[in-house]
Structure 1
Amino acid sequence: MFVTQAFAQDGEATGSAQTTAPGVPGAVHQGTVAHTEHKEGFPPFNPEYFPSQILWLAITFGVFYWLLKNVIMPRIGGILENRRDRIALDLEAAERMRSDADEAEAAYEQELAEARNRAHSIAHEAKESARSDAEKERKRLDGELDKKLEEAQARIAGVKGSALAEVDQIARDVTDTILREVASIEASQDEIANAVAQAGR
Structure 2
Amino acid sequence: MATQSTHTGVDATAHTSAADPSHSASFPPFDASTFGGQLFWLAVVFVALYLLMSRVVLPRLSGIIEARDTTLGRDLDTAARAKQQAEDAGRAYEASLAEARARAQSLAQQTRDSLAADTDVKRKALEADLAERIAASEVTIAERKAQAMSNVRDIAADAATAIVERLTGQAPAPQAVAAALDAPTR
Q: Report the TM-score, using the length of structure 2 for normalisation.
A: 0.51
Match of 2:107 among 122, 126, 132: 122
Report the Cα distance in structure 1 between the residues aligned to 2:15 and 2:107, rounded to whole angstroms: 125
SS at match of 2:117: helix
Cα deviation 1:95-147 (Å, max 9, x = unaligned) = 01101111111011011101100110011101111123559xxxxxxxxxxxx
* Aligned CA distance change for structure 1 residues 97 and 37 (closer, same or farther; 3 Å): closer
TM-aligned CA deviation for residue 34 of structure 1:
3.2
Question: Does the 8 Å contact 2:28/2:34 carry over to 1?
Answer: yes
Q: Report the counterpart of residue 14 of structure 1 in structure 2.
A: none
Identity among equivalent positions (%) equals: 38
Match among 90, 95, 119 for residue 105 of structure 1:
90
Structure 1 position 40, deviation (Å): 2.2
Aligned partner letter, 2:102: N
1:37–1:73 CA distance, 2 compared to 1 (3 A): closer
Q: What does 1:1-201 correspond to in 2, within 5 Å? A: 33-35=18-20, 39-134=24-119
Answer whether contact 2:18 2:24 (CA < 8 A) is retained: no
Which residue of 2 is the match for residue 11 of structure 1? none
Shift of 1:53: 0.8
Shift of the 73–131 alpha-carbon distance from structure 1 to 2, 3 Å rule, reads: same
* C-alpha separation in 2, matches of 1:115 and 1:32: 105
Change (3 A) 1:129 1:66: same
Distance 1:119 1:37 in 2: 104
Pairwise CA RMSD of aligned residues?
2.6
Name structure 2 gaps, 5 residues minimum.
Answer: 1-13, 121-186
Give CA deviations for 1:160-198 in whole Å, capped at 9, x if unaligned. Answer: xxxxxxxxxxxxxxxxxxxxxxxxxxxxxxxxxxxxxxx
In structure 2, the CA distance between the partners of 1:45 and 1:88, relative to structure 1 (3 Å rule), is same
- Unpaired runs of 5+ residues, structure 1, are 1-28, 136-201
Distance 2:100 2:47 in 1: 76
Largest Rg, 1 or 2 = 1
How many matched pairs? 107
Measured in 2, the distance between the counterparts of 1:51 and 1:111 equals: 86
Q: Which amino acid aligns with 1:39?
A: S
